[in-house]
């Protein structure tokens, strides 16, 4: 959710000052793009993994403050709820043994976190939506103690003129409920994949990441259940989109812009277009005006952090103080295992590399409307989705991934200089998962179907297999 802020209460003057500084920084950002100020970069990858803390009854355990104090590592931070944490890894240049190094680091981090959780009589669950979470768990009493989160809740409800958030998801079953705060968002946990690219390649890389989003969510789906209802393969997608909506019947067209979205179109010339859209179409949520130099882009970055495109461009700074650009790919859920997560990341790295270096840009062949339709079809139906691809007719997601995308991803990884054995290892995990059809979502549904059991019993079986570490396609029912 980004940086902490000083206060959760704002005046009209706060909004005026923030908007003034946001406008000035966006103008400065435009100058930087014209001047080529962004640092050159080799393709570099990194991750954020959101994790659940659960108690001995496999219910959400709101103990992240105690966990983080005991764990004592700055790479672990609180999430919106007291029962979630976020783990961050070291960015690595995508060459040679990078994937194996990423796997080792994330594996070691998870082992250390598991040990810390056990000291608090808790366990870790890596899953898109915890099957045992209930509506009663998602209250402001379980919100992490950060001003940013309190302010987010207050401002979303202010824009909604105090109206509760209405959740309506129709999948295999239908779930309709209302909620008086933004805590529904806390039911979603993801594996966010970061890709830093050279500024000259960012337009092609970003558009490629958008095009890749549909197959990525289809093959990684791990969130079929919410409040006991069987919904989408990746229910996290509609849940997040609806949980922080600022729409209300009396809202202006400007205010009604969706803050969690697939996007409004491909980038045409520069990723600056996204930041200009931020300024023009999205009202400020957190007007925490800072007395900082415009060159720090504090207001641009804070505002960007309250817009959750499924593919988001982030601005950072190198050790030398040069501005950098990276893509945050947000479509993949957490879990089921570290092996699955690294395989998902490997596929994205390879696929973006290959798609963004094709002679004919894929975004010239696949319309944005088709890319967006593909994304929601994949979130709803997983590997059973029918997807349109690069000028051809619709085809099943499984066939598309196996016949077309895996060879391209493998070629992309090798062109990056990734060790061949590592590339083959992680692409093979995806191949076996897709060929078997056993994603995390599929396993959860089949386990419930076979055993006619409760969500807690299924969660217990899920955690047992997760902790064994074998990729999900090998999990027995």
Q: Mean pLDDT for the chain?
A: 94
Q: Answer for the pair 383, 232: CB distance below 8 angstroms, yes or no.
A: no
174 in a structural domain? yes
2 in a structural domain? no
**pLDDT on residue 249:** 38
What are the two backbone dihedrals, phi and then psi, of residue 104, each rounded to the nearest 5 degrees? -60, -45
Residue 61 lies in domain: 12-474
The DSSP output letter for 332 is P
* CATH number assigned to the domain comprising residue 423: 3.30.590.20
303 in a structural domain? yes
Express each pLDDT in 135-144 by its tens digit.
999 999 999 9
Express each pLDDT in 155-182 by its tens digit.
888 888 888 999 999 999 999 999 999 9
CA distances from 465 to 46, 61, 88, 150, 454 (A): 25, 20, 23, 36, 17
6 in a structural domain? no
Distance CA 81, CA 329 (A): 22
Closest CA to 433 of 310, 301, 340, 342: 340
Percentage of the chain exceeding pLDDT 70: 96
315 in a structural domain? yes
Distance CA 246, CA 243 (A): 9
Express each pLDDT in 220-245 by its tens digit.
999 999 999 999 999 999 999 999 88
Q: Answer for the pair 217, 405: CB distance below 8 angstroms, yes or no.
A: no
CA distances from 351 to 186, 386, 413 (A): 30, 19, 8
Relative orientation angle of helices 338-355 and 406-416, to the nearest 10 degrees: 80
Residue 61 in 3-state DSSP?
coil
**pLDDT on residue 435:** 98
CA angle 305, 87, 239 (to 5 degrees): 55
**pLDDT on residue 392:** 85
4 in a structural domain? no
Domain count, the chain: 1
**pLDDT on residue 427:** 98
Distance CA 370, CA 372 (A): 5
**pLDDT on residue 246:** 75
Distance CA 112, CA 106 (A): 10
Residue 416 in 3-state DSSP?
helix
**pLDDT on residue 3:** 61
36 in a structural domain? yes
242 in a structural domain? yes
Q: Answer for the pair 63, 53: CB distance below 8 angstroms, yes or no.
A: yes
């Amino acid at each position: 959710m980004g940086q902490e802020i000083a206060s959760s209460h704002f005046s009209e003057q706060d909004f005026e000052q923030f908007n003034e500084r946001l406008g000035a920084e966006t103008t400065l950002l435009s100058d930087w793009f014209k001047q080529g100020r962004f640092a050159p970069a080799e393709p570099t990858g990194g991750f954020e993994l959101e994790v659940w803390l659960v108690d001995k009854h496999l219910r959400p355990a709101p103990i992240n403050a105690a966990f983080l104090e005991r764990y004592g590592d700055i790479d672990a931070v609180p999430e919106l709820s007291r029962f979630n944490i976020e783990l961050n890894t070291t960015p690595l240049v995508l060459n040679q043994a990078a994937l194996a190094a990423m796997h080792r680091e994330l594996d070691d981090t998870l082992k250390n976190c598991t040990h810390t959780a056990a000291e608090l009589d808790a366990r870790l669950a890596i899953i898109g939506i915890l099957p045992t979470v209930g509506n009663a768990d998602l209250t402001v009493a379980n919100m992490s103690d950060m001003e940013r989160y309190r302010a987010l809740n207050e401002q979303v409800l202010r824009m909604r003129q105090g109206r509760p958030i209405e959740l309506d998801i129709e999948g295999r079953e239908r779930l309709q409920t209302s909620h008086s705060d933004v805590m529904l968002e806390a039911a979603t946990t993801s594996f966010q994949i970061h890709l830093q690219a050279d500024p000259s390649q960012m337009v092609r890389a970003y558009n490629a990441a958008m095009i890749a989003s549909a197959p990525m969510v289809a093959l990684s789906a791990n969130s079929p259940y919410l409040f006991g209802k069987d919904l989408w393969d990746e229910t996290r997608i509609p849940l997040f989109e609806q949980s922080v909506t600022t729409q209300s019947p009396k809202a202006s067209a400007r205010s009604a812009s969706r803050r969690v979205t697939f996007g409004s179109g491909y980038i045409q010339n520069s990723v600056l277009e996204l930041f200009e859209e931020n300024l023009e179409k999205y009202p400020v949520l957190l007007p925490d005006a800072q007395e900082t130099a415009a060159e720090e882009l504090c207001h641009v970055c804070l505002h960007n952090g309250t817009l959750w495109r499924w593919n988001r461009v982030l601005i950072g700074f190198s050790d030398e103080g040069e501005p950098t650009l990276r893509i945050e790919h947000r479509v993949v859920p957490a879990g089921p295992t570290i092996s699955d997560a690294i395989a998902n990341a490997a596929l994205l790295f390879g696929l973006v590399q290959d798609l963004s270096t094709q002679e004919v840009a894929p975004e010239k062949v696949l319309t944005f409307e088709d890319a967006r339709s593909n994304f929601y079809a994949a979130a709803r139906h997983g590997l059973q989705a029918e997807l349109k691809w690069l000028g051809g007719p619709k085809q099943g997601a499984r066939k598309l991934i196996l016949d077309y995308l895996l060879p391209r991803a493998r070629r992309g990884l090798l062109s990056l200089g990734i060790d061949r054995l590592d590339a083959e290892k992680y692409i093979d995990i995806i191949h076996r998962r897709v060929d078997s059809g056993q994603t995390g979502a599929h396993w959860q549904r089949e386990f419930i179907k076979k055993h006619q059991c409760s969500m807690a019993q299924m969660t217990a079986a899920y955690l047992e297999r997760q902790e064994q570490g074998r990729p999900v396609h090998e999990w027995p029912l």
